[in-house]
Structure 1
Amino acid sequence: MAATGSSPFLYIPFVKSTHANSGRYRCVSLHRPMAVSADQSSSPARVTMQNGISLDLGEKKRKEANEFISKIYSNPDEIPDEKGETLRDYLEECKDLMIEPKAGPPRWFTPLECGSYTSDSPLLLFLPGIDGMGFGLIKHNRKLGKIFDMWCLHIPVTDKTSFTDLVKLVEGTVRSECKRSPNRPIYIVGESLGACIALDVSARNPDIDLMLILANPATSFSRSQLQSLIPLLQFMPSQLLPYLPYMMNLASGLEFVLKFPFYMSIAIYLGDHLRMVLENTVKGLMPHQTIGELTQDLVAISSYLSVLADILPGETLVWKLQMLKSASATVNSHLHAVKAQALLLCSGKDQLFPSQEEAQRLYCRLPKCEIRTFEESGHFLFLEDDFDLVTTIKGASFYRHGKYLDYVSDYIPPTPYEFKKIYESYRMVFAVTSPVMLSTLEDGKVVRGLAGIPSVGPVLFVGYHMLLAFELAPLVLRFMMERNILLRGIAHPMMFNRFKEGKMLDLASFDTYRLMGAVPVSGPNFYKLLSSKSHALLYPGGVREALHRKGEEYKLFWPEQSEFVRMASRFGARIVPFGVVGEDDIGEVSQMFFSTVAYCFGAHE
């Protein structure tokens, strides 16, 4: 509607594992292309339609592919839901594959399901949170692997590489890959601690084209509930650390006893000992915080610590929390040097960090930054069922292959499931308006439906806006459902850029338009659409026509000179004029209805 010096991390050793499913991962060497496993060496056939939509369909014949794609969008209710891995799968991967007593230094690896990327795909580096496993994108690997060359950082549980050295490791990779492909951006996806590493790498390399995607950054550690946990863990005996999460649940008793019934007497002792440690810690180190407040904080993060305790030894957890504190302080002192584009992903129900407040603070500090908020999500955003990282990237127009974003060539059409979600969000509009589409065949006969629409581009659809442009969703969605034609709307620039100052609509509210192929109105974008044989949608009246006032129903606000005709004639594009009837009348009826209701209530009083 996108010369490293001497370092022990330059040549990354292979990940060794004796587990049965270890073949799902391959290691990455910084100085040679990645190897593709034998089961993925043959790339699937790619079928491209006239409207620019492409699907990987293996070895299916082109005729069968065309029949398949013509039906895939016809009934969104029949499109199956996408099922990805869950938090349990994440924990199993962490336990079964990468936890080894002598696993070596940090290294990069790539999940084998990410092996279908194209030769011009940009590099994506994933930096994990405090767990360090590198499996945080397990739900998104397949979709990310189709558009990125994806590397994940793994930090063994026994490794104690400092924050500074981790930054140098990532920095060495970034510089090496930038030298190898200087005209492509490098994406860095970081969560929590990984977001701190990403920001520091960006601050140290302002001349490298980086695209940062930061989920719940730990830059707010000083205002986090984890801050109050460090003194407690420092004074807690080492033999109690493995049992900390169990002691925090249900007053440090019930769950622990159920899990270890033969340790009942020990559990009672541990509960009393924990209470004493809490009291002494609060009295000696945190005089302004009551025991009750600290206990509430610990219970709030107990679920998170339970996950970490299943992965990290107690001493490692203490060490990493201390590293998180120093990382936050270091990054905050370097924020002024960050010049990269950044997409901040914050959760509304993050119990560890004040993520929403921190996102607003970073938005004011970073020069090129956008925010996406997920109100119902917790700290583990990437493992949430309803969160899709690729959809978020596409909706924010945050994907590009070169130095500058090309809204035409960098565009990735919606997947069937993405289309289904968009359709469901506008289901009420369909139910209320019951739109009827009419088209004209070549012989002049008017038929119900879109049979008269040219299927081969370039085609330019020119129309006028109705009240609040409610006709857009039924129009674009019906074209996809009936004819599998994607209308690339030429839209107002306010849907793509927002000024730092002043009150403007949230850009996130226009993500659906961008996901469906909208481009900012400009001569170059119009030229590229027609030259790529697209189906373009143009409203010469613009926003003013959509926001017409009372008495301006069906009034056109077109410019005196229609420059689009000259451009369309250059490419031999078909111009299809269209009109909309009924939307302004519905608005008139609604106004009369509410006026009558208001009058009746006034008369009753």
Structure 2
Amino acid sequence: MPVAALRPPPVAVGAGRRSARLQARFALRASSLEASAAVTVTVNGSAEAAVERKEKVQEDKDNEGLPVKEEQERGLEVLYDDGFGSVTVKDYFAAAKVLCRDDGGPPRWFSPVECGHPAVDQAPLLLFLPGMDGVGTGLILHHKSLGKVFEVRCLHIPVNDRTPFEGLVQIVENLIKHEHDLSPDRPIYLVGDSFGGSLALAVAARNPQIDLVLILVNPGSYIICKDSIAASIASTGISAKRVSCYSAVSSQFCHGRYVSTGDPLKMAAVSIENNLSPPETLQKLSDSLTSMLPLLSELSDIIPRDTLLWKLKLLKAGAAYANSRLHAVQAEVLLLASGKDNLLPSGEEADRLFKALKNCRVRYFKDNGHTLLLEDGVNLLTVIKGANMYRRGRQRDSVTDYLPPTLSEFRQTFDVDHRLFHLALSPVMMSTLKDGKIVRGLAGVPDKGPVLFVGYHALMGIELSPLYEEFLREKRTVVRGMAHPFLFGKKFESSRQETSRFDTVSMYGGLPVTPINMYRLFQRNQFVLLYPGGVREALHRKGEEYKLFWPDQPEFVRMAARFGVTIIPFGCVGEDDVLELVLDYNDQKNIPGLREWIQSINKEAERVRDSVKGEDGNQDMYLPALLPKVPGRFYYLFGQPIEMKGMGNLVRDRKSANEVYLRIKSQVEEIMSYLKRKREEDPYRSLPQRALYQATWGASAQVPTFEP
């Protein structure tokens, strides 16, 4: 007898053409897992007898016998197509309409076919726990992207099912215990949407020994007003036989007025291209919204009134159950909260859970509604990657757990988020060929690693974004930037933490600067970016533009020699044409309030280079006060490659290694002197000249520069 929680859901009812099409389009792969232990599952309000069954686990032998080198090359390519944006909210409504045709069965798990097989080895398991609708397709916009790196399963709760909250907890618990027994070192992700958030918290509280990662999306654990909601709905005598769960709850929140729980415009904007003109965007948005609105009314006829009342009881029971056990939750938690949630006070709940849970981080989306996972601009995988919460083992490995940026992420970052910034800077990238000739572009940079870029760190790291973009566009290569551990810490995050530049750094290859990380990157033939000047250089003082603060530590040269790395010195100039430093570290140390703030953050931040004396070892953090200028232009030059292959003697010969180190430092200084001199010859250094050129030849035209 199959375990109830693992039965496949009905896909379509009826033999009509429309049903057949929907069945083909929204095909589901049922879980084939069979549990060996005696399992008691509570369904429809009663407990079924424990059933003894044999466990059948098929081993994946596809990787056996592969050479180590070939195995290391398997996985995701840079700028791979993750499929995000190819599915719209209309697909969700169509799938929900099919799946809400009840077959009288209990809750069960299914795997969406579009998730496919993970493209990475030892992919973690991701379980989706649905919201009040119970359909289980709330992740439909993210199935393809998540399926590349997770084994995805979704919980389906039939519309007429009456399994109590404790029974749902047991269904989830049975599966995670079984999966944990099979792979005790593999983490299990629980994505809880709305009501599913309470379910995830309850399961985590009961199973602290299992390695769980919770992704809570506007969790329904906010228990205040639940009694008044249920009483109000019961007493008003709603005339319609069938009402939407979301619209009913929202109407009671607003004392009879209908308010959408999500942002209709953001839901309609899903899959609309970012590079369209304003009139084209408006037309597509209008068409999408017009076609979506009738589906909202259709969905409101799916859930019967008695089911709605049962769901509200579940919501109340789940919130009470989870809140009474928050102290027992040991799992990592990433909470996604919406600022315009018309159903629940998700911002306040984020504040509360951020304090109550031991290991909770928040990403706050101030312009989104309750249905966050169905709205435009929210890619769940991107959020997980930016928060450094994707891992395949008990601890996150910054080297092997890193996932390269996808094509949709690249377009969102550089064609939308950073587009105006890059247009204003109009960066000029140049490189040096082996014969010493300087050319525009990255032709002088090797196509294969290991490669180490060593250079000057501009103010606030302003040079990083154009550098990442150019390497991805021209070389389709991720440059793994070695950065201060402060950028990846959690100590200074808040309960209303929005996605930030720190998330972007992580997404595009940033990782903590440690010798072991550099060693392992070289071992895997990666492209590595190192700033010997570190924080002192990036947060320099007034009048210190283009000054190097490199300590007398040539260790990276010796490590590069060991692996035969190609070292490329580089420099960039232009920060003095873009920003003016108004208050620096020395100024702020003399201002009461700011002085204490600087002391507090540096006391708690991880210290780097404590053994280095003088200003080169001063790695104190502070936030410079800056004023923007009418943008000039940024110039990059990658110097002549220094081949370390065959120089293994440097590993033990510290004197020779130091000579190479000083040579690299000297080349970086010469590069910046060259760029500062040559930029005076650039007729398009100022913004007005560049704007006139692009107005004549088009915004995408490459603006000329000086002759190298």
Shorter chain as denominator, the TM-score bin is 0.7 to 0.9
Task: Give the aligned length.
Answer: 516
State which of 523, 527, 550 in structure 2 corresponds to 1:535.
Answer: 527
1:506-521 alignment, distance < 5 Å? 508-521=500-513
TM-score (norm 1): 0.78
Q: Which amino acid aligns with 1:25?
A: L
1:358-507 alignment, distance < 5 Å? 358-424=349-415, 425-499=417-491
Q: CA deviation at 1:246?
A: 13
Q: CA deviation at 1:228?
A: 3.5
**Equivalent residue number for residue 206 of structure 2:** 204
Confirm or deny that 1:557 pairs with 2:558: no
Confirm or deny that 1:91 pairs with 2:93: yes
Per-residue deviation, residues 362-408 of structure 1 (Å, max 9, x unmatched): 11111111111112211111111221111111111111111111111
Per-residue deviation, residues 76-130 of structure 1 (Å, max 9, x unmatched): xxx9995333333212212123422x33010000111112214511111000011
CA separation of 1:510 and 1:54: change in aligned 2, threshold 3 A:
same
**Equivalent residue number for residue 111 of structure 2:** 110
Q: Aligned partners of 1:245 and 1:404: how far apart in 2?
A: 39
Per-residue deviation, residues 465-484 of structure 1 (Å, max 9, x unmatched): 12222111111211222222
Partner SS for 1:387: coil
**Equivalent residue number for residue 642 of structure 2:** none
**Equivalent residue number for residue 230 of structure 1:** 230
Q: CA deviation at 1:294?
A: 6.3
1:30 and 1:173 in contact (8 A); partners too: no
Per-residue deviation, residues 425-448 of structure 1 (Å, max 9, x unmatched): 222232222221221111121222
Q: Aligned partners of 1:504 and 1:358: how far apart in 2?
A: 11
CA separation of 1:96 and 1:589: change in aligned 2, threshold 3 A:
closer
1:498 and 1:504 in contact (8 A); partners too: no
1:53 and 1:413 in contact (8 A); partners too: no
1:372 and 1:508 in contact (8 A); partners too: no
2:82 and 2:148 in contact (8 A); partners too: no
Partner SS for 1:153: strand
Partner SS for 1:190: strand
Partner SS for 2:532: coil
Q: Aligned partners of 2:536 and 2:373: how far apart in 1?
A: 40
Partner SS for 1:218: coil
Q: Aligned partners of 2:246 and 2:461: how far apart in 1?
A: 55
Confirm or deny that 1:328 pairs with 2:319: yes
**Equivalent residue number for residue 318 of structure 1:** 309
Q: CA deviation at 1:49?
A: 12
Q: Aligned partners of 2:333 and 2:552: how far apart in 1?
A: 41
1:247-266 alignment, distance < 5 Å? none
CA separation of 1:248 and 1:208: change in aligned 2, threshold 3 A:
closer
CA separation of 1:503 and 1:335: change in aligned 2, threshold 3 A:
closer
Unmatched tracts of structure 2, length 5 or more: 14-18, 35-55, 63-68, 263-295, 583-625, 631-708
Q: Which amino acid aligns with 2:378?
A: F
2:129 and 2:136 in contact (8 A); partners too: yes
2:11 and 2:98 in contact (8 A); partners too: no
Q: Which amino acid aligns with 1:440?
A: T
Partner SS for 1:117: coil
Q: Aligned partners of 1:134 and 1:393: how far apart in 2?
A: 20
State which of 117, 140, 143 in structure 2 corresponds to 1:141.
Answer: 143
Q: Which amino acid aligns with 1:28?
A: S
1:51 and 1:534 in contact (8 A); partners too: no
CA separation of 1:377 and 1:14: change in aligned 2, threshold 3 A:
closer
State which of 4, 7, 11 in structure 2 corresponds to 1:9.
Answer: 4
Cα-Cα RMSD: 3.6
1:287-298 alignment, distance < 5 Å? 296-298=254-256
CA separation of 1:114 and 1:459: change in aligned 2, threshold 3 A:
same
Partner SS for 1:104: coil
Unmatched tracts of structure 1, length 5 or more: 1-5, 42-47, 57-68, 74-78, 250-292, 596-605
Q: CA deviation at 1:585?
A: 4.8
1:466 and 1:584 in contact (8 A); partners too: no
1:122 and 1:149 in contact (8 A); partners too: yes
Query: Could you tell me the percent identity over the aligned residues?
Result: 47
Q: Which amino acid aligns with 1:9?
A: A
Q: CA deviation at 1:8?
A: 5.6
**Equivalent residue number for residue 123 of structure 1:** 125
Q: Which amino acid aligns with 1:399?
A: Y
1:245 and 1:306 in contact (8 A); partners too: no
**Equivalent residue number for residue 242 of structure 2:** 242
Q: CA deviation at 1:552?
A: 1.3
1:492 and 1:520 in contact (8 A); partners too: yes
2:471 and 2:477 in contact (8 A); partners too: yes
Name the structure where helix makes up a greater proportion of residues. 1
Confirm or deny that 1:337 pairs with 2:338: no
Q: Aligned partners of 2:185 and 2:496: how far apart in 1?
A: 33
Q: CA deviation at 1:238?
A: 7.1
Q: CA deviation at 1:10?
A: 5.7
Q: CA deviation at 1:360?
A: 1.7
Per-residue deviation, residues 439-469 of structure 1 (Å, max 9, x unmatched): 1111121222211111111111011112222
CA separation of 1:180 and 1:568: change in aligned 2, threshold 3 A:
same
Q: Aligned partners of 1:307 and 1:362: how far apart in 2?
A: 35
Q: CA deviation at 1:29?
A: 3.2
Q: Aligned partners of 1:195 and 1:117: how far apart in 2?
A: 25
Q: Aligned partners of 2:542 and 2:87: how far apart in 1?
A: 52
CA separation of 1:245 and 1:184: change in aligned 2, threshold 3 A:
closer
Q: Aligned partners of 1:111 and 1:593: how far apart in 2?
A: 49
CA separation of 1:222 and 1:328: change in aligned 2, threshold 3 A:
same
Q: Aligned partners of 1:227 and 1:300: how far apart in 2?
A: 20
Q: Which amino acid aligns with 2:7?
A: I
Which one scores higher on RCO, CA 8 angstroms, separation ≥ 6? 1
2:242 and 2:303 in contact (8 A); partners too: no
CA separation of 1:246 and 1:503: change in aligned 2, threshold 3 A:
closer
**Equivalent residue number for residue 284 of structure 2:** none
2:532 and 2:550 in contact (8 A); partners too: yes
CA separation of 1:232 and 1:584: change in aligned 2, threshold 3 A:
same
Q: CA deviation at 1:581?
A: 2.2
Q: Aligned partners of 2:173 and 2:375: how far apart in 1?
A: 29
2:7 and 2:31 in contact (8 A); partners too: yes
Q: Aligned partners of 1:35 and 1:51: how far apart in 2?
A: 20
Q: Aligned partners of 2:373 and 2:125: how far apart in 1?
A: 19
CA separation of 1:359 and 1:570: change in aligned 2, threshold 3 A:
same
Per-residue deviation, residues 169-195 of structure 1 (Å, max 9, x unmatched): 100100000001111100111101111
Q: Which amino acid aligns with 1:130?
A: M
1:17 and 1:98 in contact (8 A); partners too: no
